[in-house]
Amino acid sequence: MFHKINRDGKETQPPPSVPLPQHPEAVSQPARNTSRSAPSPGNGGESPPRRPRRRKRSPAGNKRSSEPSARADSIPVQKEPDAAGHLEPWDPDQYQVPVEEGKIRFHDLDIPPEILRAVSDLGFMYCTPIQAELLPKALQGRDVAGRAQTGTGKTAVFLISIISHLIRKPASESRRKGRPRAFILAPTRELVLQIERDAKALARYTPLNIVSVFGGMDYEKQKQMLKGKAVDIVAATPGRLLDFERHGDIGLDRVEILVIDEADRMLDMGFIPDVQKIIGSTPPKTRRQTMFFSATLTPQIMNYAERWTRDSFLAEIESEQMTAETINQLVYITTMEEKFPLLYNLITGEDLERVIVFTNRRDQARRLTEQFTDHGINSALLSGEVEQKKRVKTLEGFRNGNIRVLVATDVAARGLHIDGVSHVINYNLPLDPEDYVHRIGRTGRAGLHGTSVSFASEDDSFQIPGIEKFIGRRLPCVYPEEEWLKAPPPPRAIHRGRQAVVHRKPHRRGTANRGRG
């Protein structure tokens, strides 16, 4: 049974034990729209209009704001202790957040001071809508379920709840190794790694041991992390977790809190049978707290939520809240032949530095990566066929600025948390409107302004009405200015694998040894 809340924040049945305010609004300033208004071809599924006279329009959108919002949508890298390993003393009175009507501050909640200090370090002030609705319930130990996209702050809901519980109920010193007290199940390696980073940021003033396990990395190394000392929190993908279970390297019979994140994604990826096996290894739902999150709540997903949770409190973020106000969205009506010249000129002409380009197919992603390399743009491929060690290295290179353009398929759209992405470019419009939301959500995070640019050709422009209906807003659609469609300069080199064949003028015959004795 679910206790559901309606859109004004009130619980339908029974009344909530903690009164919930209206959804807090973003603290950040709205994105400046530097674009002129343009008609959308999304009326009733009609075809795009005939090409009118081209008008000048900058594709770069807005530059990122240097003033972050004080919202817990994304957890940045935490500060480290000093060289001696000591932490400066902290007074809770230092964490001053003004009272605002309709907003919940983190220190309005029953959060231990160790977590509140980490929250203060991270600059969080007010709860996001999903946090305001679910955190009071989860902190009381109640099962919760939420429909929310990545970037809404849902990760902080279950992490703050888990860490609070573990602090207040210390474990026995004689507990066995490889028996986590809290377990988080997520569909992708990138999401598992991000959850581990966020957990360590929030638990940095606690002695909790946090470990992530996932496929594609050294099994023995991960085994040592599990068995080296008692572990408190484990985040894992289904396949690798089952490997550890089969070998007896991990046991879930002592799990006190279970989190299932992005359940709909696990259903899409065929992981549900594995998830059911894993949940069967945990204590019954009457003896554990369960938190369940999904971007969509189809009847099938709701059925799983009801089976795996007990008397859970359900919160939903409506579709009009799905795309952040900090993202400036633009659609270029173009042709397939014009797409790469437009993409190249957009990136080089506006000197874009941290860009994610999404495609619908892996072969197209590979080809784009090769074209970028041929034209001297430092890029890398991120798709399901890239081995895990290379994926981790690629993401790290993109984070630290060594990689300028990340070309990705939708495997990277969910669970990919990288601060400072200025632009997301949809080389193809996605087949599923929900994927559009996940893609553009990689920019405009943590209160920074971002820009989403989509290319719509005769092959995919029919997707626009469905996307507009899903996000609850019109998308500005324009034709690019002629200068953005100029052919790129000839490639500097043709790269294939690790070889680079550079085009040089051949030496004239008989002159190769000229000047030698």
Structure tokens at 238: 């289904």
Structure tokens at 156: 């902080």
Chain centroid, CA 366 distance in Å: 22
Is 504 buried (19+), middle (13-18) or exposed (0-12) by CB count in 10 A? Answer: exposed
**Amino acid making up residue 25:** E
Domains and CATH numbers, the chain: 2-25+70-317 (3.40.50.300), 327-494 (3.40.50.300)
In contact, 37 and 51? CB cutoff 8 Å: no
> Which tens digits make up the pLDDT trace of 393-431?
888 899 888 999 999 988 655 667 777 899 999 999 999
Q: What is the pLDDT of residue 516?
A: 39
- Tell me the C-alpha to C-alpha distance, in Å, between residue 242 and each of 203, 211, 252: 27, 16, 11
pTM above 0.85, yes or no: no
* Residue 452: strand pairing partners: 329, 424
In contact, 1 and 311? CB cutoff 8 Å: yes
H-helix or E-strand containing 412?
Answer: none
Q: What is the pLDDT of residue 139?
A: 96
Q: What angle is formed at CA 167 by the lines to CA 162 and CA 168, rounded to 5 degrees?
A: 100
Closest Cα to residue 131, out of 148, 114, 143? Answer: 148
Q: What is the pLDDT of residue 412?
A: 58
- pLDDT (tens digit, 0 to 9) for every residue of the chain, 517 residues total? 555 554 444 444 443 333 333 333 333 333 334 333 333 334 444 444 444 444 444 444 544 433 333 444 444 444 444 444 445 677 777 788 888 888 899 988 989 999 999 999 988 889 988 999 999 999 999 999 998 876 778 999 999 999 999 999 998 877 888 899 999 999 988 889 999 999 999 999 999 999 999 988 889 999 999 888 899 999 999 999 999 999 999 999 999 999 999 998 888 788 999 999 999 999 999 999 999 999 888 899 999 999 999 999 999 876 444 556 778 999 999 999 999 999 999 999 999 989 999 999 999 999 999 999 999 999 999 887 787 778 888 888 998 889 999 999 886 556 677 778 999 999 999 998 888 988 898 888 766 789 999 999 988 899 999 999 888 889 999 999 999 999 998 886 444 444 444 444 444 444 444 443 3
In contact, 240 and 213? CB cutoff 8 Å: yes
